[in-house]
Amino acid sequence: MKNILVTGGCGFIGSNFVRLVLEQLPDSRIINLDKLTYAGNLENLADIEDNDRYKFVRGDICDGELIFNLFVQEQIDTVVHFAAESHVDRSIEGPSEFIQTNILGTFALLEAARKFWLSSPRPPVPNPRFLHVSTDEVYGSLGDTGLFSETTPYDPRSPYSASKASSDHLVSAYHHTYGLPTLMTNCSNNYGPYHFPEKLIPLIINNALNGKDLPVYGDGKNVRDWLYVVDHCTAILRVLQKGRVGETYNVGGNSEMQNIEVVQTVCDILDEKVEPLANGQTRRSLIKFVKDRAGHDRRYAIDATKLKQELGWQPSVTFEDGIRMTIDWYLKNEEWMSGVLDGSYQDYYSSMYDAR
């Protein structure tokens, strides 16, 4: 892993991964390709922009010529593909961007890798790897029991999850058809620093700090398995280093919680750490149940046994610790929060968020 192409490296998970690689792999370079859509922010990596092992390239993963030229010029030997449209509600309102980015963008990356790595009997770089980062949402919805494993049949329920399922199948097909050295991870809900505040936890933190309504879909009892973002990044690195080519590894946090429990936990911690609301009420008083989202999956839960048994990885951060670290980060970085959102966008997402 000398020259690593990270797509979407200015986003939430990508920026945390870039920072982890620069810390842990001193002989590796990062080429960060990001289109800088609304959820991509150069400020997420402002502290490392002068690092001589880091290079930022603004561009679209759907631009096949740009991507292939990057492979050649930078001698890319590793791809970690984060770039994606990921907001479920937005996919329901307008699915076109999700089809373009998540399916056609993944196709363009696969084609560039195939042409560069497999165009001659002897690859131009040693031991190339293409790791595609996906989601547990491709598996559909669980009942009250059971866990998603790597062999769970795909059953996507939204345009977003369908587009991710399609990209997963493309990655698998390129391995089986062309022998492209691919790896895939499917993760549960992430949370942590630099999370764009359209998603549940950062939105609730932001609204609760500002005395705004805290919208909760339906009865609030939809269950998600929460994974601290740094744990996710260490899992991806472990799969890159030790994973078997052609395999999929599920990454989970062992932290199932109902959405309403997450919201209430955030409220209680903020009540401990910051001044009370102007009217003296607790932040739980801001909770407002809103109409449920179309096709809202009831429960996700990951079985990460394969990752633990084969590669020795398991999450190191409990939700109780991780949510406190996350809230502390946002409290120390309120300028970052205000910088990524303008007023109209905040108002729009005060009644629509992505609890996945």
- The catalytic residue positions are 136-137, 160
Query: Residue with structure tokens 């096709």?
Result: 295
Separation CA 58–CA 33 (nearest Å): 6
> What's the order of all strands across the beta sheet hosting 223-228?
189-191, 223-228, 256-258
Please give the biggest Cα pair distance in the chain: 72
The token pair that represents 41 in the structure block:
């922010």
Separation CA 236–CA 232 (nearest Å): 6
Separation CA 61–CA 63 (nearest Å): 5
Separation CA 59–CA 301 (nearest Å): 34
Half-sphere exposure of 143 (CA within 13 A, CB side): 2
CB 8 within 8 A of CB 34: yes
DSSP 58: E
Q: How far is CA 303 from CA 74, 85, 139, 151, 222, in A?
A: 37, 25, 12, 11, 18
Separation CA 119–CA 135 (nearest Å): 31
